[in-house]
Amino acid sequence: MVFEEIKASRQSFARRGRLYTFHGIVETPVFMPVGTQATVKSLTPEDLISCGAQIILGNTYHLYLRPGHRLIESLGGLHSFMGWSGPILTDSGGFQVFSLSPLRKIREEGAIFRSHIDGSLHELTPELAIEVQESLGADIMMCLDTCIPYPSSFQDTQKATDLTERWAKRCLDARKRDELLLFAIAQGGMYPELRRHSIQGLLKMGFDGYALGGLSVGEPKELLLKIIEDSRPLIPSRFPVYVMGVGTPEDIVECVYRGIDMFDCVMPTRNARNGMLFTSFGRIVIKNARFARDEGPIDPNCNCYVCNRFSRAYLRHLFIAKELLAYRLNTYHNLYYYLNLMKDIRNAIERDEFEVFRKNFYMKREGT
């Protein structure tokens, strides 16, 4: 068994589940902190555990280029290399090829690109994407897909979606380690009929889980949610469903409401380094002058190490002074907030009170 649905909400598509991986069980819905280059920036594995992290995300593109998947494999794999004993999901690298490479060319064989590090020329094929992820020892591997910008024409979207399906089949054929799960990525842009076609084609191949890719790429929020509403019911309940790159706390609550199980986003860690902190009542920017003498915690409702020990005034001082501790403490708090949000969501679904939770979540943000 890969995935078990434990409890389904009676008022929505929200559900409580359990995902079984080689390195442990993941309780869902789950948020995965992003550890692109074998590290969640500024935090240790012990920090991640104390924040409540169950599973983290690494990146095929970055680890392939530096330090190299063969080197990591020779050192015992990614878990041993970074000192993390829990599950790891690695994305395929397709998005990074699309977003970081100054020169790229997509063809049937794969994606040709130049490294953003030294300009060297590479070709990422579906077979290589699987080879790299198996060398890393990722508990959950992602198929290589083609990224579709927003907006895109129907013709261009159809062409890219069909290529993603052919690449998915090649990823499946290249897989050698059956103990590592393999998820396919459904594309289709903002066209419901192409989304349906993509999902139906991938379901026939028989993957361990399915992701909805090509979202949160600049489309209006209403459109993102509409695509999820149309796409999610097409995937049988026995599979875990992952929306890639989403997102804000509000995005997560709305996607869980629509039946999504897994999330990742750089927002909590990147925003932490920029001084934006998440709270139960919304966001605050810690560098603002109004916090210079504020003796209170970031969030009075938060029980994390940072909120229990440090004042907003001190955190503002660290950030303004560009002290390294600012990045660690801000990141710790933001990830704790996200992971505790997921814990509260899971508990609410178990009690069949997710609708009440959702209502209260927004009421706190409105100050009512």
pLDDT at 345: 98
Q: From CA 223, how far away is CA 126, in angstroms rounded?
A: 30
Give the containing element (helix H, strand E) for 9.
none
Tokens encoding 33: 């902190």
User: How far is C-alpha 129 from the chain's CA centre?
Assistant: 18
Q: Looking at the whole model, is its pTM more than 0.95?
A: yes
Q: Where does residue 103 rank: exposed (0-12), middle (13-18), buried (19+ CB within 10 A)?
A: exposed
Go through the domains of the chain in sequence order and give each one's CATH number.
3-265 (3.20.20.105), 267-368 (no CATH)
Report pLDDT for 103: 74
Dihedral angle sign, alpha carbons of residues 184, 189, 194, 196: positive
Q: What is the spatial distance between Cα 138 and Cα 341, in angstroms, rounded to a whole number?
A: 25
pLDDT in the model for residue 169 = 98
d(CA 163, CA 106): 10
Helices and strands counted in the chain (H then E): 15, 16
Gyration radius of the chain's alpha carbons: 20
Amino acid 18: pLDDT: 98
Token readout for 296 is 């209170």
**CA end-to-end distance (rounded Å), the chain:** 44
Mapping DSSP to helix (H, G, I), strand (E, B) and coil, where does residue 166 land? helix
For the chain, 368 residues long, give each residue's pLDDT as a single digit of tens. Answer: 999 999 999 999 999 999 999 999 999 999 999 999 999 999 999 999 999 999 999 999 999 999 999 999 999 999 999 999 999 999 998 888 878 766 789 999 999 999 989 999 999 999 999 999 999 999 999 999 998 999 999 999 999 999 999 999 999 999 999 999 999 999 999 999 999 999 999 999 999 999 999 999 899 999 999 999 999 999 999 999 999 999 999 999 999 999 999 999 999 999 999 999 999 999 999 999 999 999 999 999 999 999 999 999 999 999 999 999 999 999 999 999 999 999 999 999 999 999 999 999 999 997 64
Whole-number Å distance between alpha carbons of 230 and 169? 24
pLDDT computed for residue 368 by the predictor: 40
| Cα–Cα distance list, 310 to 164, 280, 298, 325, 327 (Å) | 48, 17, 8, 12, 14
DSSP for 243-291, written as a single string: ETT---HHHHHHHHHTT--EEE-SHHHHHHHTTEEEETTEEEETTSGGG
Is the separation of the CB atoms in 183 and 209 below 8 Å?
yes
Distance CA 309, CA 300 (A): 12
3-state DSSP of 194-256? HHHHHHHHHHHHCCCEEEECCCCCCCCHHHHHHHHHHHHHHCCCCCCEEECCCCCHHHHHHHH
Phi, psi of 344 (to 5 degrees): -65, -40
Buried b (16+ CB within 10 A) or exposed e, 184-199: bbbbbbbbeebbebbb
Residues tagged active-site: 91, 264
Residue 25, classed as helix, strand or coil, is strand
pLDDT value, residue 98 = 78
Q: What's the pLDDT score for residue 100?
A: 72
* Contacts for 110 with CB less than 8 Å, ≥ 6 apart: 123, 124, 125, 126, 128, 144
